[in-house]
Amino acid sequence: MTNQSIPDLIAKKRAGGEHTRAELEQLIGGYTRGEVPDYQVSAWLMAVFLNGMAPQETADLTLVMAESGEQLDLSSLHNTVDKHSTGGVGDKTSLILTPMLAALGLTVAKMSGRGLAHTGGTIDKLESFPGWNPELPEDRFIAQAREIGLSLVGQSKDLAPADGMLYALRDVTATVESLPLIASSIMSKKLASGAQTIVLDVKSGAGAFMKTLDDSRNLARAMVDIGNRAGRNVRAVLTDMDTPLGHMAGNSLEVQEAIATLNGTGPADLQELCVTLAAEVLLAAGQETDPARARERAEATLHDGSALAKLEAFVTAQGGDGSLVRHPAGLDVAPGRAEITASAGGYIAGLDALSVGRAVLALGGGRERKGDPVDVGVGVETVRKPGERVVEGDVIYRLYHRDGRGLERAQELLQGGIELSNTPPDVKPLILDRVQ
């Protein structure tokens, strides 16, 4: 192949044309192999940003990206399932949902990422367990998934490398916010990860990438369509992220809250989300046909000890101190405490999730750039939730800090995100919609 035909492909998309699978392989495959320069792909990305892509075209792009590198072969495992969240604040769902699914007899062999900016990462949270190892050779990864039902490792650089290369270009060419490019980016890694059933938790609101419900719904529909065209069982649940999920934000604090939820004593919103997602997995995987029965089975794992036992076995198998699952008070939590209180009486009308995420970042609990160190012990506790009545001086937030690092900035952020009202506010439901 020569680069002579690449301008024709750019011109086709600039004119609003639809690419074939072969054309996308020529362009994206050529870029991944170093045969097409980044300035030509940058021009093509802008053409996509301006003109969009058709559904089959988006699915073909996703498959080309998924096939650009390593693909996990999970064919030796039964009932393989995966879950993806588009990212939020206090979102420790994977810590709860994956052992629930394993306890339900499904197999989770999953790759997860680290946190960046205000969103947390599952790998960072799991590293709150001393000794836990996010790297496993593939044979052990598969064997553990077969034996325990749960194997979770860090994202491989060899998984859908075209996505990483394209994202780097999108980041510097103002083409990040393109629906087909976002959907193909997420789904290329999910398809390459090999699971047959995938349930997506698409966040919507202040603390999410997608700020409006319409944008979130469009993204969910695009991703479900891609998965179905690729022969996978895919569903999406749209959930609110105007308010942090649960009470805790920060790695060790979120692990403690996840363990409480696996003991049946977690926050109502967090339990509701995990049960909803687990039920959707059972339905999508064909393990249940009755939604009520699916929820009943999912809820049972949080009360009979089966999901908690799976988490303990999983942490231990990957070198972590599994005793902390039974005794989570031993996890590293920063010793400093500070509080944000209500400045007046009334009702909490809103708590900005993005402010909470940024406060955790200011305290040292996240990273601005890849590779930055993370303090697993710091974080923010949301003591009160929207809709609750408060009197002046009631605690709304509790901060866990290390020697005052970033405390003043965190307090400013949190105070700026509190909205009080004299009348009871309308509180949005957690589950906003479903896409099948």
CATH of the domain at 215: 3.40.1030.10
Known catalytic membership, residue 84: yes
Write down the residue that tokens 């500070």 correspond to: 338
pLDDT digits (tens, 9 = 90+) for 156-215: 778 889 998 998 899 899 998 899 999 999 999 999 999 999 999 999 998 888 889 999
Q: Out of 163, 242, 352, 375, pick the active-site residue.
A: 163
Known catalytic membership, residue 189: yes
- Which of 280, 310, 326 is a domain's end point? 326
- How high is the pLDDT of residue 4? 58
Task: Check whether residue 371 and residue 320 sit in a common domain.
Answer: no
- How high is the pLDDT of residue 87? 82
Task: Check whether residue 297 and residue 208 sit in a common domain.
Answer: yes
pLDDT digits (tens, 9 = 90+) for 99-111: 999 999 999 999 8
Please determine, for residue 366, whether its predicted confidence score (pLDDT) is greater than 90: no
DSSP letter for 5, please: G
User: Strand pairing partners for 208?
Assistant: none
Please determine, for residue 320, whether its predicted confidence score (pLDDT) is greater than 60: yes
Contacts of residue 11, defined as CB under 8 A and 6 or more positions apart, other chains included, come to none
pLDDT digits (tens, 9 = 90+) for 8-24: 999 999 999 999 999 99
- C-alpha–C-alpha distance, residues 190 and 71, integer Å: 10
pLDDT digits (tens, 9 = 90+) for 325-352: 999 999 999 999 999 999 999 999 999 9
Q: Is residue 412 part of a domain?
A: yes
Q: Out of 189, 190, 217, 297, pick the active-site residue.
A: 189
Known catalytic membership, residue 163: yes
Task: Check whether residue 229 and residue 300 sit in a common domain.
Answer: yes
Q: Out of 13, 19, 83, 84, pick the active-site residue.
A: 84
Task: Check whether residue 123 and residue 39 sit in a common domain.
Answer: no
- Which of 12, 37, 52 is a domain's end point? 52
Task: Check whether residue 247 and residue 264 sit in a common domain.
Answer: yes
3-class secondary structure, 175: coil
Q: Out of 170, 235, 358, 401, pick the active-site residue.
A: 170
Burial call 40-60: b when 16+ CB within 10 Å, e when fewer:
bbbbbbbbbbeebbeeebbbb
Known catalytic membership, residue 332: no
Sign of the Cα torsion 414, 420, 424, 428 reads negative
Q: What is the pTM of this model?
A: 0.93
Q: Is residue 429 part of a domain?
A: no
Q: Out of 85, 128, 151, 185, pick the active-site residue.
A: 185
Q: Is residue 116 part of a domain?
A: yes
Q: Is residue 67 part of a domain?
A: no
Total domains present in the chain = 3
Known catalytic membership, residue 235: no
Task: Check whether residue 301 and residue 363 sit in a common domain.
Answer: no
- The average confidence (pLDDT) of the chain is 93
Kindly report the CATH number assigned to the domain that includes residue 410.
3.90.1170.30
* Domain assignment of residue 203, given as a range: 80-326
Task: Check whether residue 95 and residue 228 sit in a common domain.
Answer: yes
- C-alpha–C-alpha distance, residues 436 and 434, integer Å: 7
Q: Is residue 14 part of a domain?
A: yes
Task: Check whether residue 353 and residue 235 sit in a common domain.
Answer: no
